[in-house]
Amino acid sequence: MLEEQQEDDSFTSNLSGSASASFSHDIYDKKVDLTSSSPQYFSPDPLESDINKISHHGDSSNNNFLSVPQINLPTRIAQPGLGLQHHHRAVKSLVHERFGKQQREEGSPRDQFEDPKSRLVSRKPQWKRLEDHVEEIEKSHLRNLLQDEERSQAMFAEHDGVYLDYSRQRATSKTMKLLQDLAKTQRLEERIKDMVTGKKINFTEKRAVLHTALRAERSEEIFVDGVNVVEEVHQVLDQIKYFTEGVRNGEILGYTGKRLRNIISVGIGGSYLGPEFLHEVLKTEPEGVNSALGYNLRFLANVDPIDVERTCADLDPEETLIVVVSKTFTTAETMLNARAMRQWLWDFMGNDKEVVRKHIVACSSISSIDKVEEFGTDTENYFFRFWDWVGGRYSVCSAVGAVPISLMYGFDLFEQFLKVCTCVSNVRRLENYERPTNRIFVGFFVLHKY
């Protein structure tokens, strides 16, 4: 211990001697300028007494004393969370700026001199009335609300065989009125119309948001950049029907001539969540149980090798079809798993390009067809496209969901699912908004949206 203390004293003495007087004065004379692009972070130590300063600068008896300057940390480090707040404000400002610019470009006279921040829903008086109403609702108990027979009888809706009982919500007729007032103030009906008619409401990417077109009737027309997208949607659906029925009928076989009975859908996020949820529903429905006999559907999203092993366990590669889902065909996790699946097929059936052409299907955007072909997939018969205006979380109605679900349960059952989705789409259209039933659906859309 004595030797260690002597070494520490020696080190301190050497370090003190290596710092010149001018260096020490420079350190203590510098000030912090937070507005400077290159701030100096050294400042005088407020705890240092005048006696210490004198002994440091002039008293030779304290040669072994090294005065350590206080380090003034940048605000973003000294105050945790401040950086996130700055980022949040910057993002909000950017959105307001772009939204305001978009509205001005549309030439609306009343918006030309309006502050974009004034459009915030939380600034509206209808929002304030809802906030005040919350205090009323919080004082109520669902048990008491359900004893109001008139309220309970009124709080239900029915549309096209779908029955909605919302009397178990902590809401009253006044709640619904306030929600509908807010929806009208926010021009929700107008915005729904913009969406379903192909207007590019995704202003950050300058794209339409047309998942509703994925389940539109064949006779409908919705144009985006001069192209009737409904016609394209049904071309792909016809292609999927032909392919999936061919697989299930035994007309389309694997590399070794065996029937394809196992399906592994490889994707991540919206590219697998929707189809997996739909699979969870259908696999216990009587019609789903009957149509899925003899088939097996699994999903692979995680890049953990254990998950890959579990997914492939007890499956015969010669009877397995891999469905790779990626809009850009560059998603890191998806492509890593896709290459693992390709290698799995090669390990059992040989390193032949025909193995990939017979066992790997791709669902991707048309702009990614070169990458799909480079991967080895047969782009003539095993490639099913979807579009940039299909968001990941809404993609279950596209090839993303249609291919794996139709392979597992048959295209007819998937088509029934599309018809149900069409029913929901029709509820939210502008021309139906004035119907009392649909105002209720829209009201609850706003309630759960905000």
Element (H, E) at 266: strand 262-266
Sequence letter at residue 189: E
DSSP string, 304-349: -HHHHHHHHTT--GGGEEEEEE-SSS--HHHHHHHHHHHHHHHHHH
DSSP string, 144-171: HHHT-HHHHHHSEEEETTEEEE-TTSS-
Closest CA to 62 of 13, 7, 10, 22: 13
Element (H, E) at 244: helix 229-249
pLDDT of residue 203: 85
48 token code pair: 């240092």
Cβ–Cβ < 8 Å for 13, 63: yes
Tell whether the torsion through CA atoms of 389, 236, 394 and 329 is positive or negative.
negative
Element (H, E) at 18: helix 2-18
Other CB atoms within 10 A of residue 268 CB: 20
Looking at the DSSP bridge assignments, the partners of residue 263 are 297, 321
State the Cα–Cα distance between residues 355 and 348, nearest whole angstrom.
10
Task: Output 372-377 pairs: Cβ under 8 A, ≥24 positions apart.
Answer: 372/329, 375/324, 375/329, 375/338, 375/342, 376/342, 377/324
- CA distances to 74, 186, 321 from 383, in Å: 53, 41, 13
DSSP E strands in 173-225: the ranges are 223-224
Looking at the DSSP bridge assignments, the partners of residue 164 are 157
State the Cα–Cα distance between residues 297 and 190, nearest whole angstrom.
41
State the Cα–Cα distance between residues 341 and 62, nearest whole angstrom.
72
pLDDT of residue 21: 47
pLDDT of residue 163: 78
For the chain, 450 residues long, the average pLDDT of each consecutive 10-residue run is 48 44 44 41 42 45 49 52 62 62 53 58 88 89 91 82 82 87 86 89 89 91 92 97 97 97 95 93 94 96 92 96 96 95 96 96 94 96 94 90 97 93 67 49 47
Element (H, E) at 362: strand 360-365
- Measure the CA angle with vertex 388, ends 387 and 391; round to 5°: 100
State the Cα–Cα distance between residues 418 and 411, nearest whole angstrom.
10
pLDDT of residue 189: 82
Q: What are phi and psi of 120, to 5 degrees?
A: -55, 135
Residue entry with tokens 């260096």: 23
Closest CA to 271 of 372, 425, 390, 411: 390
Closest CA to 263 of 241, 248, 285: 248
State the Cα–Cα distance between residues 400 and 382, nearest whole angstrom.
13
State the Cα–Cα distance between residues 431 and 422, nearest whole angstrom.
15
DSSP string, 217-229: -TT---EETTEEH
**Which domains are assigned to the chain?**
2-72 (no CATH), 238-409 (3.40.50.10490)
- CA distances to 260, 300, 305, 311, 333 from 337, in Å: 20, 8, 9, 11, 6
State the Cα–Cα distance between residues 11 and 20, nearest whole angstrom.
16
Q: What are phi and psi of 202, to 5 degrees?
A: -80, 85
DSSP string, 270-313: HHHHHHHHHHHHHTTSHHHHHHTTT-EEEEE----HHHHHHHHT
